[in-house]
Amino acid sequence: MSMQQASTQAPVDVVARTQAVIEAMAGLEGPLLPILHGVQDEFGFVPEASLPVIAEALNISRAEAHGVVSFYHDYRRAPAGRHVLKLCQAEACQSMGSERVAAQVKAALGIGFHETSADGSVTLEPVYCLGLCACAPAAMLDGEVIGRVDAAAIEEIVAEVRR
């Protein structure tokens, strides 16, 4: 193998860990989405280097694998910030002001959905129902759900992610 070839190879670790995820899910019907979720669970995002490995294993084109990752906003293309804040934007929360909450949080953090703050402290993502509709508008910070997000809660959340 030439030096140039070697430098364009995917990191061995990423390839091996991606293959392990694929093997664990090989028996599933329609395995692409679960594999991508598995890879994201493994790395915290879907590394670029995983896509050719997945494409080859499932006998699909790389373009197809790329297309699916780009289409579903659930998949991260880069590592998340230290905190992950999800704001519910589904119907019940919308009717209770989730768009206003999102606008306030975006302004406070200086980032939009699917973005990570420059200091790496927080990634902001929309989510579509957290099963907390009775306590809308809802959010989730690092896996913990927060209901009835009002101005005071936004202040607390912003302070928490900046800590």
Judged by the rule CB under 6 A, the positions of this chain that interact with ligand FES are: 88, 90-93, 129-130, 132-133, 136, 138
Look at strands 122-127 and 144-146 and give their pairing: unpaired
**Secondary structure (3-state) at 12:** helix
Q: Which is nearer to ligand FES, 106 or 148 (CB)?
A: 148
**Rounded to the nearest whole angstrom, what is the least distance from the CB of residue 87 to ligand FES in the complex?**
9
Q: Which residue has the tokens 């306590």?
A: 135
**Rounded to the nearest whole angstrom, what is the least distance from the CB of residue 130 to ligand FES in the complex?**
4
**Rounded to the nearest whole angstrom, what is the least distance from the CB of residue 84 to ligand FES in the complex?**
17
Q: Which is nearer to ligand FES, 10 or 92 (CB)?
A: 92
**Closest CA relative to residue 103, chosen from 89, 117, 120:** 89
Q: Which is nearer to ligand FES, 64 or 74 (CB)?
A: 74
- State how far the Cα of 62 lies from the Cα of 158, in Å rounded to an integer: 39
- State how far the Cα of 65 lies from the Cα of 159, in Å rounded to an integer: 38
